[in-house]
Structure 1
């Protein structure tokens, strides 16, 4: 479900009350004014952009140091690979480099690959039309080509060097025509729909007949394999997603699937379609069940058979994983490779943070803290999830624990998420925080939903990891230990490039809205570091600029002072 922000970019200048959280007891906060300059003789760096003389301009602002945090990095501890596939999106934005692109969302549930028609569902009057064609900019002369929406999308991915997730249809029917609104009286089965089956059980063709009253999903996979090769080839499609947000079908697509989906029904549809995919491209990876949010995680949105089917399980996710493990035991092969969920935070200030109106100081404060519900057991957000079901938070460790308990080896995808505020610095800091958490906590695939041209701060967060210097400079691919004494005001993540201890990358975030924070950085382990580059964006601009270098590090200890509302990428050598 979309969670797009229309936040006025001026909101990044709005004042927010500083947290009263005290600094560590061993430290004394020195409230003093600092300019954006470096005092390297003291091995203290106030992150800033300087002129050619290395000193601040006359118009540089002064910031008061209002707190301290001890940041500890250990390149030898807690090493784990960071998936390259967490830097993905469902939409494109000029100048932003994705590693994964997902062809998904509500429109794909009713997509007919034979004629490229689709249905909007409740998003827009249940319209059947050619929206996916013209939205992608596909010429009219290509509209009749089978699967042109999919092939156009994947061709773009290949040009960008990105991998593709392609959504397959599993709700039972797809659009037959482009004749506009579908009335309640034309609910499937009716002449407005074509039955969609997982398996053809007959020879495949590359020129399907749109008039034969049947659309086959395994024939689509075969079509794509014939065009691009299997997943084991350079251009093959790596991932297939089993439809989109099935717990909401009765709401988003009542003309296709008017009744709430049952747990047993969804499981059987999953097994049938995943088996058909694996028969055609055995090494492809299948994602499911694309749950829309926490109520679906919990009970498949109160599925009609949940009380019976879910007996003995903590939540639907445990049921889903365990039953798929049993299916693998029965069939001799894994059918679903990746547990796929969507995560739109329910955290609130004055509004839910994903709402376009979430621009007040309380909203900003809530957004800056919301990423902690991904990983931090000491944090409690303001949300209905925390009120009713706090035992499931933080969510990433809970999802990973369910995987380990019920179907070890399953990977984790978050194929839709958005923290709002993409036009404001709070949205950029939250996005940078989230990407760090995804990397540290073992997420395999993550694809943002809802980036627009105006969301410059969201884009800046991705660049901080994927192209911080404008020349392809990236964050590391091996997560290592990084801790902060004050997770309320700061966030920190660290990574290496492969197994080498140098360079050591660190993402440092100052969430304080009032003033600068002194980060006392200590590096543990046997490797000595002498210098570092600093690249950062802040409340003044989403542009990532190189700041003063860190020099003269002694004893693997130095102080870095970050201005308010700043995200920095530190590269230590």
Structure 2
């Protein structure tokens, strides 16, 4: 389940006092802390450019498909794979081929979860499969037999001496040539494929109806039949043979359901693309064709024209990358550091002409790379209008971060390069990261929200370490979706994102996953966007889905909502506030007396303003109003700023000009000492199965402080006897340099010598702690001493204590 890990959009906060060292706010006075910088690894600056008017095109909803169910949010389900070559729709038996002792059995009933009584009915497996698709709102792609024979029985292993034709097999006939029946003869030794399609059309309607089967595949990986199914098709598959079979079956299907899409030839990989795995008649037939795919497309086009109907709607290929790192194929295992790097780069083979992967294909077949443009060129040349599908693929490491990021990358590429359908093939083992990769597009917030359906231009300045994709959800571009990846194993990216659009985006939500966890969670929001440009840090091995939002009003009435959650610091002050619905801009007014007079010092379109003309020992008062062409909103609650302290009122208190205004609060005194702990609630929901406090330790003294001398305590309630686990999801001093120790009432963070020191005026940088019970049951943080859901930005917090050489130097310990 997606867990909340931050704020969605700027929201009202109820804290009274905010530190001068709030993350993202610059302090320039000589005695203030300098902005923190990563200490574990220097970040790399990149630029991502987005243009909502360029390269616009529809993203096919069918690129989010599968061959095995692993998420309820997928759009296509394929009944495919080796088992379907020998599947008999009349009795639901199939043959495993070389995958499992050439066994004929009812395994198709098992993997489709077909009830036993239905397994004994004609078409029971197909009915179960398709009804599951209907329930999920998914497209069903059904594989039809083309190789010549299907299983007659479920009696187990088929011996070599029982190779077809024999009593173990029924002959496949594409066209019955007689009236169809819904109760086929199980003893005539034949299976009619057009009758199979008729069964589905009769039961669910044709492909033009909401419940009809939409597509049919002309079998599976025909170049490998002699290897995968030697009991069915022991001879090498010929080019002319495959073409003749494909034309005949496609014709028969279209006669029953003219609206159905035909997929073919479901080639297993590169050697099949080039010459149908060295088919014996390829050299005699190839002529001037560049590879077998060209020949197939051209001859399917010719046959379609002769028949007066399209016999191939979708060119269907499979792609299991051969890329290697440290001589380990990326699909074989997670591998070494070099294997992981190779996996992260492997998607570039799909589109990047400057990249050559380490594989035999990269060495000997680079003239056919990058793959997607080459396939599209073949289509455009030999059968224009044919769609492109990759109905089996896998990039390995399904349960590891590099596999997850590679999958996010591949799905972005499919959307960008006009792939019509793609279907992930799930290997054995865990798949949490692959599942999250799909849900980052299909259910990123846990409420079925999805990536946009119209792609737009997005390019990154560093294609080796990052990837970027963009989409919008409507012609008005009100909501802009960005997929941004950091593919570096160890270096953060400082991404400057520049958007060209007819819309002005005001703030953004950020969702994603990283190396710490495959769980999609909410990350630090983008509180304001200045003229469609902002900067965001992306940690190593992280996948983000950013949603940029306009929230434009119609301008007919003055804005009714006053800006809230105003924050600021002294010296050079950056004021930030929440966007107001209907606002075109904001007036910032300042005075040195709470009663005024207030002078207008700026009008800005964004939700932040930097005031650089402050003097020491002077208290400044600010009010902010939202403006559009119809007028001005009520003023936000007063904020006063003075070097050394900051006062924030309750946002529900009246502002100047409102009854009871202007009103101000006395500042909460800052605790004594040079070391300060800042806290932020990364998860503001008090009842769920994880606790996610973030910390930053600030050294306001004149001498450096060794981190190994420090201990930090966060107080919480365990709510039960279960053990609690802790993870450091991210720390700028390095997660491995932090140890966690539990007691009944708090968790203590201890630091190794590898954490280094905090220089005078410096900071530790962000430390992201996450805790969960061993049985993953819920916590209730409502009364936890250290928990404060109002702190959605870093602020000094006395209820997190800090010890130096075991002496309390910051915070207030609980009294009970």
CA contact (8 A) 1:344 1:354 kept: no
Q: CA deviation at 1:65?
A: 3.4
Contact 2:510–2:522, Cα closer than 8 Å, also in 1: yes
Once residues 453 and 432 of structure 1 are traced to their aligned partners in structure 2, the CA distance between those partners, rounded to angstroms, is: 19
1:173 to 149, 173, 177: 149
Report the 3-state secondary structure (helix = DSSP H, G, I; strand = E; otherwise coil) of the residue aligned with 1:512.
coil
**Normalising to structure 2: TM-score of the pair?**
0.62
Q: Which residue of 2 aligns with 1:99?
A: 75
1:111 aligns with one of 56, 81, 87 = 87
SS at match of 2:189: coil
Who is 2:653 aligned against? none
Shift of 1:96: 4.0
**Contact (CA 8 Å) 1:96, 1:462: kept in 2 or not?**
no
The answer on whether the counterparts of 2:72 and 2:136 sit within 8 Å (CA) in structure 1 is: no
Instruction: Note closer, same or farther for the CA distance 1:38–1:113 as it changes in structure 2 (3 Å cut).
Output: farther
When the two chains are superposed, the root-mean-square deviation of aligned CA atoms in Å is 1.4
Among 53, 63, 74, the alignment partner of 1:86 is 63
Contact 1:92 1:451 in 2 (8 A): no
Deviations 1:412-444 (A, max 9, x none): 000000000011000000000000000000000
Q: Which has the higher helix share?
A: 1
Deviations 1:324-373 (A, max 9, x none): 11112211110110000000001001244444434211110000000111
Q: Judge conservation of contact 1:186–1:192 (CA < 8 Å) in 2.
A: yes
Give the aligned partner of residue 314 of structure 2: 338
Q: Determine the C-alpha separation between the residues in 2 that align with 1:356 and 1:309.
A: 36
Deviation (angstroms), 1:147: 1.1
1:134 to partner: Cα distance:
2.3
CA contact (8 A) 2:76 2:140 kept: yes
Bigger mean CA deviation after superposition, 392-401 or 178-187: 178-187
How far apart are the structure 2 equivalents of 1:211 and 1:291?
33
Q: Name the SS for the 1:504 alignment partner.
A: strand
Alignment counterpart, residue 349 of structure 1, candidates 301, 321, 325: 325
- Structure (1/2) with the larger strand percentage: 2
Equivalent in the alignment of 2:114: 138
Say whether residues 1:39 and 2:23 are aligned partners.
Answer: yes
Give 1:156 deviation, angstroms.
0.7
Aligned residue in 2 for 1:66? 43
Q: Is the 8 A contact 1:457 1:542 kept in 2?
A: yes
Select the structure with the greater relative contact order (CA < 8 A; seq sep ≥ 6). 1
From 547, 560, 563, give the equivalent of 2:539: 563
Name stretches of at least 5 consecutive residues in structure 2 with no aligned partner. Answer: 1-20, 27-37, 550-816
Where 1:170 maps in the other structure, the secondary structure is: coil
Q: Deviations over 1:249-284 (max 9, x none)?
A: 011001111111111110010000000000000010
Which position in structure 2 is the counterpart of 1:412?
Answer: 388
Alignment of 1:158-307 (within 5 A): 158-307=134-283
Cα deviations across residues 122-161 of structure 1 (Å, max 9, x unaligned)?
1111111111112333232222200111111111111111
Q: CA deviation at 1:379?
A: 1.1
CA contact (8 A) 2:347 2:406 kept: yes
Quote the Cα distance in structure 2 between the aligned partners of 1:446 and 1:192.
34
TM-score by length of 1: 0.88
Task: Give the equivalent residue in structure 2 for 1:550.
Answer: 526
Structure 2 CA distance for aligned equivalents of residues 76 and 63 of structure 1: 39
The match for 1:157 is: 133
Q: Does 1:527 align with 2:511?
A: no
- Larger mean CA deviation between 517-526 and 257-266 belongs to 517-526
- Which consecutive residues of structure 1, in runs of 5 or more, have no partner in the other structure? 1-36, 43-60
Deviation of the 1:515 alpha carbon: 2.3
Query: What is the CA distance between 1:218 and its match in structure 2?
Result: 0.2
Cα distance between partner residues in 2 of 1:113 and 1:552? 58
* Cα separation, partners in 2 of 1:405 and 1:38, compared to 1, 3 Å: farther
* Deviates most, 401-410 or 142-151: 142-151
